[in-house]
Chains A and B, each alone.
Chain A
Amino acid sequence: MNLKPETLSKIDEVITHYPTKRSAMLPLLHLIQEDIGYLPEDTSEWIAAKLDLQPINVLEVITFYPMFRQKPIGRRHVKVCRTLSCALLGGYKTCAAFEKEFHTHLGEVSPDGEVTVDFVECLASCGTAPVVMIDDELHEKVDVAKAKQLSDQIRAEAKQR
């Protein structure tokens, strides 16, 4: 596991917040995912050793939460809501537009490495459906046209890098 020194110190610090070490499992998983972008295969063993657990105890948690990724994703994460309101107002079309824009399929890394498009459940903004979250930013009323516009923006930002 190749973690940044800041992550390691955050990890050691966060463990002290809990009366039992085991409780620090979720924060640790988040920290590692923030650092590496996903949870590499040896995460379970690394955390188990850190928290005096068995690796299977960690794997159970990793596989329970859809938010934890076991594979690398694109530089930006496009999360399209597919719950009722968004689905009724065209969430699926929005999603297809993103897939087309980046020549990719759900859950995969686009060929240019720029995005991964995923469906997610209700983002609690049903009134402005369909909604899309790109990394930590919420975009409302994302129809096909707005999806294209957002895609252009992502590509433009990529060029500046």
Chain B
Amino acid sequence: MIAPAKPDLVTVNIDGKEIAVPKGTNVIEAARLVNVDVPHYCYHPKLSIVGNCRMCLIEMGMPAVDPSTKAAIMDPATGKQKINWIPRPQIGCGTNVSPGLHVKTLSPMVKDAREGVMEFLLINHPLDCPICDQAGECKLQEQATGYGRGYSRFIEQKNVKPKRTQLGPRVTLDDERCILCSRCIRFSKEIVKDDVLGFVDRGSYSTLTCYPGKKLENNYSLNTVDICPVGALTSSDFRFKMRVWFLKQTNAIDTESSVGANTVVWSREGVIYRITPRRNDDVNDTWLADSARVLFKAVKASDRLTAIKINGTDGALDVAVNAAAELFKSNSAPGAIAVVGSGRSSVEEQFLTRKLADALKASTQLVSRVGQGDQLLISADRNPNVRGALVTGLITALPFGELTGLGAQIDAGKVKVIVAINEDLAAAGLTSAQLTKVSVVYLGSHFNASSAAAKVVLPTLSPFEKSGTFVNQQFRIQKFFKAVPGPVGATDDLMVLAKLVTAAAGLTLPAEINALWKVIAAEVPALGTMAFANLPETGLLLDATPFAALPFAEGETLHYKPAQPAVAAATA
């Protein structure tokens, strides 16, 4: 018998390789750790185990002991303890490791079992891969190639089942392709608690259905498309738009709220086609809200800012920066300039914003964006990076309500210039009368009342067109990367901010992110040991204790419990 390495670890033997795995691990996950693939359909690491597809069949055995003396029975041929192999295959997903468990995944019995399961799964499958959107990321396709027998013996008629059913506004179902794994049903029931899917007419005609009169329309419905191992559930939006193998994958972060769900942005030749979740067991598991998946539509929106404007006329970047510098110079009285930073800017941008504010001796504020959390992956704070502004020192108190304080200062004639970074001052509570009393320098990606009123407009990039970091509600700093180039006429925010800092203080700061991080690491103690390139893909937790007393807006969400009860979302 193999002795357990640690009390909570169990040593098992998979295809001759020994590995210690935590108690409660199933054979699929244990095998993954020794790079052995146990093909499966119905098993999903974040859902309950049902064991209904039978694809994960393995052969298993336990070390032999004498029933009466409990002494190990040795195999004279090998000199090792004999293994009693169970004469029938077992499912790997539903088998948890036990000390000394032996597993074969390559034996003839397993090969036969897999071929048999694949043959049955394909009997009624339409085999319409050439017109199926899942092709290229289909488990059935991959595992038919990897573990199937390669030809069909089925000469009868295939079942006919409903095609192109709209399960809800965003999900389309092809029942003929469904292999009845029930992942989508379990997801709806267990994760979103919206139990509307089920199998009716069980038997040869088992059909996945949404309860008549109901719709699969919760804000997480597209996760069923992600986890459907075949092309049965497809995204109505992405359907027939692009073959997945043509798409480039870029890691990114959901900017919808302070949860910071990890995402992958899929693009080709500068065009984004879809956004899917990226697994992070400490943040979003394998899920992503539907609303997070449409954010890329803003990239190609018609209200993008693409022309640098100085007093309403087009100009070059340096001319615009000089115009801003003039404004700064002629309003050098302390407090005459205010900087409105953004909780949607990256840590790097917020750092440069702080540098700019310091150089201008300007007051700084953030725009608060508080809504209802959904207790899953959308938190009450709809700014992705308020904590970044705290960490970089751009702000010391949480943004609250509208910019009424700033409005009063404008009315009192104190504030003459506002540098607004990707925030619409009108939407944040300043009246149009107040806006006419100040000169606005506007940096942002889209048109709004502030960009219309601004003296200087500096078009910048959307989050999909630049790289950076956000600090989420857990104080986890996470990286996102540029997926597509920005439109002609827009400049990287870091470049614009660095130029403004130079114009305001004569100080040169790098606009390239890796170089900038050297400066950040030197100046921001909390980030002192870090470099952009070295941040892990799943993020790094920062020390939250300096901010523990702040009344953050977030309530409980997946993998997040507020330190203190959330203050009621008083400010909508």
Instruction: Give me 30 A-to-B residue pairs in the complex whose CB atoms sit less than 8 angstroms apart, sorted by A's number.
Output: A44-B211, A54-B189, A54-B195, A54-B196, A54-B211, A55-B211, A55-B214, A56-B195, A56-B196, A56-B197, A56-B198, A56-B209, A56-B210, A56-B211, A56-B214, A57-B195, A57-B198, A59-B200, A59-B209, A59-B211, A59-B212, A60-B198, A60-B199, A60-B200, A60-B202, A63-B200, A63-B201, A63-B202, A64-B201, A64-B202
Which of A54, A55, A57 has the most CB atoms of chain B within a 10 A radius of its CB? A54
Mark interface residues in B183-201 (1 if CB within 8 Å of A CB, else 0). Answer: 0000001000001111111
Closest 10 pairs (CB-CB, A-B): A56-B198, A63-B200, A54-B195, A56-B211, A64-B202, A60-B198, A63-B201, A55-B211, A60-B199, A59-B200
A residues adjacent to B (C-beta < 8 A): 44, 54-57, 59-60, 63-64
Whether A59 and B198, one on each chain, are in contact in the complex, defined by CB atoms closer than 8 angstroms, is yes
Q: Name 15 extra pairs, CB < 8 A, besides A56-B196, A56-B210, A56-B214.
A: A54-B195, A54-B196, A55-B214, A56-B195, A56-B197, A56-B198, A57-B198, A59-B211, A60-B200, A60-B202, A63-B200, A63-B201, A64-B201, A64-B202, A64-B203
Number of A-B contacts (CB under 8 A): 32
Interface size on B, residues (CB 8 A): 15
Which A residues lie within 8 Å of B200 (CB)?
59-60, 63
Q: How far is the CA of A88 from the CA of B189 in the complex (A)?
A: 47
Give chain A nearest CB distance to B224 CB in angstroms: 14
Which B residues lie within 8 Å of A44 (CB)?
211
Which B residues lie within 8 Å of A57 (CB)?
195, 198
Which A residues lie within 8 Å of B196 (CB)?
54, 56
Chain B residue at smallest Cβ distance from A63: B200
Chain A residue at smallest Cβ distance from B189: A54
Which B residues lie within 8 Å of A60 (CB)?
198-200, 202
Give chain A nearest CB distance to B460 CB in angstroms: 47
Mark interface residues in B483-522 (1 if CB within 8 Å of A CB, else 0). Answer: 0000000000000000000000000000000000000000
Mark interface residues in B208-230 (1 if CB within 8 Å of A CB, else 0). Answer: 01111010000000000000000
Q: How far is the CA of A55 from the CA of B203 in the complex (A)?
A: 20
Q: How far is the CA of A60 from the CA of B197 in the complex (A)?
A: 10
Which B residues lie within 8 Å of A56 (CB)?
195-198, 209-211, 214
Give chain A nearest CB distance to B520 CB in angstroms: 51
Which A residues lie within 8 Å of B195 (CB)?
54, 56-57
Q: How far is the CA of A83 from the CA of B214 in the complex (A)?
A: 38
Q: How far is the CA of A99 from the CA of B29 in the complex (A)?
A: 58
Which of B189, B195, B214 has the most CB atoms of chain A within a 10 A radius of its CB? B195
Chain B residue at smallest Cβ distance from A55: B211
Which B residues lie within 8 Å of A55 (CB)?
211, 214
Give chain A nearest CB distance to B161 CB in angstroms: 14
Chain A residue at smallest Cβ distance from B197: A56
Give chain B nearest CB distance to A5 CB in angstroms: 29
Give chain B nearest CB distance to A41 CB in angstroms: 8
Q: How far is the CA of A54 from the CA of B79 in the complex (A)?
A: 58
Q: How far is the CA of A133 from the CA of B199 in the complex (A)?
A: 30
Which A residues lie within 8 Å of B202 (CB)?
60, 63-64
Which A residues lie within 8 Å of B199 (CB)?
60
Chain B residue at smallest Cβ distance from A64: B202
Which B residues lie within 8 Å of A54 (CB)?
189, 195-196, 211
Which B residues lie within 8 Å of A64 (CB)?
201-203
